[in-house]
């Protein structure tokens, strides 16, 4: 549980952010993970509640009290084992997850919540630096093959777990690189793409095969920012050649807004805008670049995607940005008892 009186002795530590004036000039990550000493102090605040609402609030059910206790005791390798037992890619979630675990933290009701997300990132950062994140190659294959269609976070997690159980896994991706939304939707300043490449290399070492530029379907492959497909595979072939097929294709159907002016020039879906900049950052040629430099920008929507568009437009040099949202303006402090 960390230190018995830690939640009374220590304040919440926030990860350091590069000043806005600096970070808006580039697309690199701007958050610095806690160092081991800071993470230990953060972990010391965990109260080891009888009912771990942090675990129940987490979609992955990460066992936060356990890895917090191990970080406090400086048993980092064991902390990594606990974290990775429920989370295939802590380096992704500790960057982009909204930290629902912290909303559920009991300490949150009377003080500031335990910094679970920052401890998670410290653990996986330390694990990679120490060489603990190694390919987990099964002792033997079970003779079964699985095709996974889509290499977004769901497809990658599925492929990883199946390969470690002894299945022969092939991932089909219509784009030129793996990652799906991780690579083409989330901006580089939130998730550096070298983090994805490192995981893909580990998965390849575990036996996962990736077939890029490949569209699954009949007829010609679709073209566009979301597809670099150069060939297609008929679904019947997959059913013939594999024992099982997993559909992990996500949703690329944006929610439209049927209003006057919608078809005007310069009106784009976020998923037409964000992938282009990510490809430019990766030095991939892009047709019909969408750039906000010196333009007045209107962003409709106030969620994560709207925020990503805002950060991208700022870095592109927009002259003015207005963001509108359906809901009311959020208060600086939310009512924790509601």
CATH of the domain at 23: 1.10.1060.10
Contact in structure between 66 and 84 (CB atoms under 8 Å)? no
If asked whether residues 235 and 292 sit together in one domain, one would say no
If asked whether residues 198 and 300 sit together in one domain, one would say no
Q: Residue 180: is it exposed, middle or buried by C-beta count within 10 angstroms (0-12/13-18/19+)? A: buried
What is the domain range of residue 53?
6-130
If asked whether residues 88 and 108 sit together in one domain, one would say yes
pLDDT of res. 221: 60
Which strand (E) or helix (H) includes residue 146? Answer: strand 145-149
SS3 call for 60? coil
Q: How far apart are CA 171 and CA 269, in angstroms?
A: 28
If asked whether residues 243 and 257 sit together in one domain, one would say no
If asked whether residues 25 and 95 sit together in one domain, one would say yes
Of 105, 130, 155, the domain-final residue: 130
If asked whether residues 282 and 337 sit together in one domain, one would say yes
Q: Does a structural domain hold residue 118?
A: yes
Render each residue's pLDDT in the chain as its tens digit; 338 residues: 678 888 989 999 999 999 999 999 999 999 999 999 999 999 999 987 888 999 999 999 999 999 999 999 999 999 999 999 999 999 999 999 999 999 999 999 888 999 999 999 999 999 999 999 999 999 999 999 999 999 999 999 999 999 999 999 999 999 999 999 999 999 999 999 999 999 999 999 999 999 999 999 887 666 555 788 888 899 999 999 999 999 999 887 888 999 999 999 999 999 999 999 999 999 988 888 999 999 999 999 999 999 999 999 999 999 999 999 998 887 777 666 66
pTM of the model: 0.92
If asked whether residues 118 and 13 sit together in one domain, one would say yes
Residues in a beta bridge with 209: 170
Of 79, 100, 130, the domain-final residue: 130
Task: Indicate the pairing of strand 31-32 with strand 145-149.
Answer: unpaired
Q: Does a structural domain hold residue 137?
A: no
Number of domains in the chain: 3
Q: 237: domain CATH number?
A: 3.50.50.60
pLDDT of res. 225: 56
On the CB side of 50, CA atoms within 13 Å amount to 0
Of 199, 226, 247, the domain-final residue: 247
pLDDT of res. 253: 81
Q: Does a structural domain hold residue 138?
A: no
């Amino acid at each position: 549980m960390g230190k018995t009186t830690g939640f009374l002795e220590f304040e919440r530590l926030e990860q350091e952010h590069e000043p806005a004036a600096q970070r808006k000039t580039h697309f690199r990550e701007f958050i610095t993970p806690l160092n081991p000493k800071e993470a230990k102090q953060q972990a010391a605040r965990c109260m080891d509640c009888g009912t771990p609402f942090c675990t129940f609030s987490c979609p992955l059910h990460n066992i936060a009290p356990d890895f917090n206790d191990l970080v406090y005791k400086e048993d980092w390798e064991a902390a990594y084992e606990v974290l990775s037992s429920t989370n295939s890619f802590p380096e992704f979630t500790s960057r982009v997850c909204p930290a629902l675990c912290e909303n559920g933290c009991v300490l949150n009701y009377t003080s500031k919540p335990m910094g679970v997300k920052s401890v998670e990132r410290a653990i996986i950062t330390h694990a990679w630096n120490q060489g603990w994140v190694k390919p987990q190659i099964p002792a033997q294959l079970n003779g079964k093959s699985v095709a996974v269609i889509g290499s977004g976070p769901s497809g990658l997690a599925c492929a990883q777990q199946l390969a470690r159980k002894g299945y022969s896994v092939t991932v089909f991706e219509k784009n030129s690189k793996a990652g799906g939304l991780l690579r083409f939707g989330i901006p580089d300043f939130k998730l550096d793409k070298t983090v994805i490449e490192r995981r893909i290399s580990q998965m390849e070492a575990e036996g996962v095969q990736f077939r890029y530029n490949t569209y699954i379907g009949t007829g010609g492959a679709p073209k566009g920012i979301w597809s670099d497909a150069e060939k297609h595979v008929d679904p019947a072939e997959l059913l013939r050649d594999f024992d099982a097929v997993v559909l992990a294709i996500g949703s690329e159907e944006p929610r439209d807004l049927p209003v006057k002016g919608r078809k005007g020039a310069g009106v784009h879906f976020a998923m037409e805008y964000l992938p282009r900049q990510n490809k430019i950052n990766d030095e991939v040629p892009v047709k019909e670049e969408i750039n906000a430099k010196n333009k007045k920008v209107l962003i409709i929507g106030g969620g994560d995607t709207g925020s990503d568009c805002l950060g991208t437009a700022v870095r592109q040099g927009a002259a003015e940005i207005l963001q509108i949202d359906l809901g009311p303006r959020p208060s600086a402090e939310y009512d924790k008892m509601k």
